[in-house]
Amino acid sequence: MEQIATSMGGYLSGHPELKYIFFGGKGGVGKTALAGATALWLAAEGKRTLLASTNPVHSLSGLLAQSVFGAATPVSGAPSLWACEIDTKETIEKSKKEIREKIQWFLKFADIGAKADDFVESATMNPAFEESAMFENMVDLMLKDEYDVYVFDTAPTANARRLLGMSKVYSLWVDKMLKSRQEARTLREMLSFTKKKEEDPLLTYLLQFRERMGRARERLTDAEKTAFFFVTLPEALPIAVISRFIGWFHDFGIPVGGVIVNMLLDRQALGDDAPEFVLNRVQMQEEHMKTVWEKFAGSVRAIVPLFDQEVRGVAMLHEAGRALFSEPRNSQ
């Protein structure tokens, strides 16, 4: 029989400085419910906790049965817990305004008589623009440092990987931009008749941006402060997805906290008189659990059962939390 070496509770106890906890996995595996259960458990421990969704298709309001869209909102019946579905619309508009101002300044700097609107449109029509806005909002939350713990419910794994990987991608991009900007500035000064130093808002912005990304990346790659937990069902496709993505997260330097198996059917609770359909599902899950133990040996933190009702609302989140943080429950 396989054993859980370090439980979810054991992992958190072993990382007392943990501040940024992410949940991800294939769509439909229960990421939001387990992120909510974890946030509630931490809040009950007395930690000022923010549960935030970076998934463009938010479901925290549905999970908590109250609107938490756009701003950190106290969760009813859960002292010390706030929740927020990040609204990117305001950030997108703010970014468009900043980009317009920078492009206008650059066109004037280069003596180019063109309107900025076309350039702004091209820049903001980038399909990753909304994703970038989401990352900016997430970094804002992290750097404001208003909570003891942040629990993030992320989009399905591919989006989460791109989102968190942006700290590295941005750092590489801004270094190149800074080099080009400094070269252009040096050349302009050499060709200029005046020795008067000009203000360079673009260079100032890039330097501030690099400093901000550096702080975010430092936190996201600190194994004592950050952990990403992958949620899977005992089924082939979710297991295959996280098998691929765990390696990619390591490539970005983002610490992986472990794997949580969700919605496992309990053969003993069902008994031998359960319908054949159910017993077939149990057998299927037992086969896939062998793969889980084989692929994620030493990284399985918890096995959460399939409940007889939907995990929604504070009462059910407490029950899910008890299963998630109970001491090791071993499987076949």
Query: Tokens for 300?
Result: 């399985």
User: β-strand 73-74 against 81-85: which pairing, if any?
Assistant: antiparallel
Cβ atoms of residues 210 and 176 within 8 Å: no
- If you ran DSSP here, which 8-state letter would residue 1 be given? -
pLDDT of residue 310: 95
Tokens of 75: 């969760």
The greatest distance separating any two alpha carbons of the chain, rounded to the nearest whole angstrom, comes to: 92
pTM of the prediction?
Answer: 0.84
Secondary element (H or E) of residue 69: none
Exposure string of 155-177, with b = 16+ CB inside 10 Å and e = fewer, is: bbbebbbbbbbbbbebeeebeeb
| pLDDT digit string (tens) for the chain, length 332 residues | 578 999 999 999 999 999 999 999 998 999 999 999 999 999 999 999 999 998 878 899 999 999 999 999 999 999 999 999 988 777 777 777 777 776 676 666 666 666 666 666 665 666 566 777 788 888 889 999 999 999 999 876 665 566 666 666 666 766 776 777 677 767 666 666 666 666 777 777 778 877 888 888 889 889 999 999 999 999 999 999 999 888 888 877 889 999 999 999 988 888 888 899 999 999 999 999 999 999 998 999 999 999 999 999 999 999 999 999 998 755 44
pLDDT in the model for residue 243? 92
pLDDT of residue 214: 83
249 within 8 A of 158, measured Cβ to Cβ? no
The sign of the dihedral angle between the CA atoms of 200, 205, 208, 210 is: negative
Point out which residues pair with 232 in neighbouring strands. Answer: 261
